[in-house]
Structure 1
Amino acid sequence: MNITGRRTLTQDDYTIGWICALPFEYHVAREFLDEEHNGPQDVSPHDNNLYTLGRIGDHNIVIVAPPNGDGNGLSSTAVVIKCLLDSFFNIKVGLLVGIGGGAPSFKHDIRLGDIVVVLLHTAVTTLQSIRTLGDRIHKAVDFLFVKSPQLLRSFKRPEATSDRLYRTSVTHPAEGGAECSTVCGNDPSSLIKRHDQGERDNGPEIHYGLIASANTPIKDASVRDTLVEKKDVLCFETEAAGLMNDFPCLVVRGICDYSDSHKNDQQPKCSR
């Protein structure tokens, strides 16, 4: 017991692992903690992961990121998870949270800033409770920007005017570094027409379905559309397949681009 009468936490008290692959994901995740704890004091040999311990509500959480600041790729994520589980023996739930490339279709109106949650049999129970949290997520994000306004500059939802979904046949020139808004433009013949975002509810929408994982990002609209047609994929990412067989996680992705050759000019950090 400590001098306040509260039991001192041990590493066995942490039951949720929040896995981040990129440095900015790790630093933003820490801002969501209701309380940050000291430690960890004791990790397994050769465990060089970055750790932050804390609490959200009644849950003690370990936020973890790779030591080199870039866990993109299946093998990197698998190493991070192995070290996490070697140091924290009581982790029961994994959350793999980060950015991903959207796969919009006529069936799924996915926009920049939306959230995709993987739908797996192993996650159904957890998913049922998450389905009711849309409004709470919006409020939590809004509160975060009030608490840490410096984050608003880099992580706010993109303006609707910057959200352009180009036709599959329109590709961004490989040479040069010109912004997509300049070289690809806003010609209606190049864009897929979608309804005005004002018709949607305020804040990002949450989509539930299949997230495809590979070792490299998808940056080809024709490949994206083929997988949408064949598998009804909603999103692409580059970490989950490296750990799902050994440590099933609930995968959550914020959409930062459309898995094509075009870049999101307002969010330069969105690379996978």
Structure 2
Amino acid sequence: MDQKWDRKECGKVALDPNSYTLGALGAHNVVLLHLPGMGKGVAASAASSCRISFPGIRLALVVGVCGGVPFGPHNIERILGEVVISDGLVQYDFGRQFPNDFKRKRTLHDSHGRPDSEIRGFLARLGGREARRKILTAARGYLLSLQATEEALGAALYQYPGAAEDVLHQPLSLHKHLQAATCPEWEKTCGTVGACDLARTLDWQQLNCGFSQLVPRQRLNVYSGDISQGPSDSLELHIGTVASGDKIMKSGEERDKVAKEEGVIAFEMEGAGIWDQFPCLIIKGICDYADCHKSKKWQYYAAATAAAQMKAVLDEWD
């Protein structure tokens, strides 16, 4: 924030359980709502209370991290640290579970509406070359400032983890032990189609799994020899439909199935709770590929890129 204000002097009504930070970003007065947990239920409850305390809110930005769909139409490739901005939302886990299949409820009454005309017009402008270039340039500056502030405090949480850490596995590649000697529950879990609890606490390199099932990444090849170097366009943004639900997507196969059926570009957990409460944009950094090999190595950097893009977006919001 460019300025912060005293919470006691600004707006929060009695019995509102939310925690806020109040201030300004550029020309905009901002209410930063600190969610107490994950999931659309938590987000919906918090947003409902926020509307009572701050009825004049024009735009809600849901900012954080998400799981990205690595490939899209027309050879689009998404890499870790890039940012997704929503132009629509699908609540992909709302439906009926049958013995052998899940059917999402798709009626008009069960679906989230499209963004209002002001947001649609704004996103159309973001799709233009000049506005996009301006936002990306500003976001890079904000990210560098955020990184410099952390470094001055003796931390490096928001630094780019390195191209060598951006690893994509084949959708059917499983995250588990490959040998009985290393698995405490081989016959029940890793020796069949499952994975043991120990395997889920280890990264893919510790498990020595998936080396033969890595997906080549064209945009990262040039950087593979130097993990300190990142793509010059690592703050690229992708505008598209976002999948929101209460479950954490950790299956490459299911990820690709939902992406194909629903046309989504990322998975997250809070947007569905806020979408119908306020005019809303979801702005989230890609921290993993929504598969079983996901780790937390990219979460801080992805959160930082999302925050930088959010501030750049607000610069352009009238």
Query: Which position in structure 1 is the counterpart of 2:172?
Result: 169
Conservation of the 8 A alpha-carbon contact between 1:221 and 1:261 = yes
Output the CA distance in 2 between the equivalents of 1:99 and 1:73: 13
Query: Which position in structure 1 is the counterpart of 2:213?
Result: 190
Amino acid at match of 2:246: N
Q: CA deviation at 1:196?
A: 4.1
Q: CA RMSD in A?
A: 2.3
Amino acid at match of 1:171: L
Output the CA distance in 1 between the equivalents of 2:154 and 2:55: 33
Say if 2:65 is the partner of 1:34: no
- The percentage of aligned residue pairs carrying the same residue is 27
Say if 2:120 is the partner of 1:124: yes
Query: Which position in structure 2 is the counterpart of 1:105?
Result: 71
Query: Which position in structure 2 is the counterpart of 1:58?
Result: 27
Residue in structure 2 matching 1:241, options 250, 272, 296: 272
SS of the aligned residue for 2:22 comes to strand
Q: CA deviation at 1:151?
A: 8.4
Amino acid at match of 1:179: D
Bigger Rg, structure 1 or 2: 2
Amino acid at match of 1:180: W
Conservation of the 8 A alpha-carbon contact between 1:180 and 1:265 = no
Higher relative contact order (CA 8 A, sep 6+): 2
String of CA shifts for 1:242-261, please: whole Å, max 9, x gaps: 12123231111111111110
String of CA shifts for 1:141-171, please: whole Å, max 9, x gaps: 1111112324862232321101110001111
SS of the aligned residue for 1:155 comes to coil
Query: Which position in structure 2 is the counterpart of 1:160?
Result: 163
Residue in structure 1 matching 2:145, options 140, 143, 146: 143
Output the CA distance in 2 between the equivalents of 1:267 and 1:194: 17
Amino acid at match of 1:125: G
Output the CA distance in 1 between the equivalents of 2:246 and 2:296: 24
SS of the aligned residue for 1:224 comes to helix
Output the CA distance in 2 between the equivalents of 1:76 and 1:231: 24
Q: CA deviation at 1:186?
A: 6.3
How has the CA–CA distance of structure 1 residues 162 and 201 changed in structure 2, closer, same or farther, with 3 Å as cutoff? same
**Which blocks of at least 5 consecutive residues in structure 1 are unaligned?**
1-32
Output the CA distance in 2 between the equivalents of 1:203 and 1:169: 27
Amino acid at match of 2:81: G
SS of the aligned residue for 1:153 comes to coil
Conservation of the 8 A alpha-carbon contact between 1:105 and 1:228 = no
Query: Which position in structure 2 is the counterpart of 1:7?
Result: none
TM-score of the two chains, using structure 2 as the length reference: 0.68
TM-score of the two chains, using structure 1 as the length reference: 0.79
Say if 2:49 is the partner of 1:83: yes
How has the CA–CA distance of structure 1 residues 40 and 94 changed in structure 2, closer, same or farther, with 3 Å as cutoff? farther
SS of the aligned residue for 1:78 comes to helix
How has the CA–CA distance of structure 1 residues 133 and 40 changed in structure 2, closer, same or farther, with 3 Å as cutoff? farther
Output the CA distance in 1 between the equivalents of 2:144 and 2:300: 20
Moved over 6 A (4+): none
Conservation of the 8 A alpha-carbon contact between 1:138 and 1:203 = no
Output the CA distance in 1 between the equivalents of 2:40 and 2:3: 31
Query: Which position in structure 1 is the counterpart of 2:234?
Result: 203
Report how many aligned residue pairs link the two structures. Answer: 235
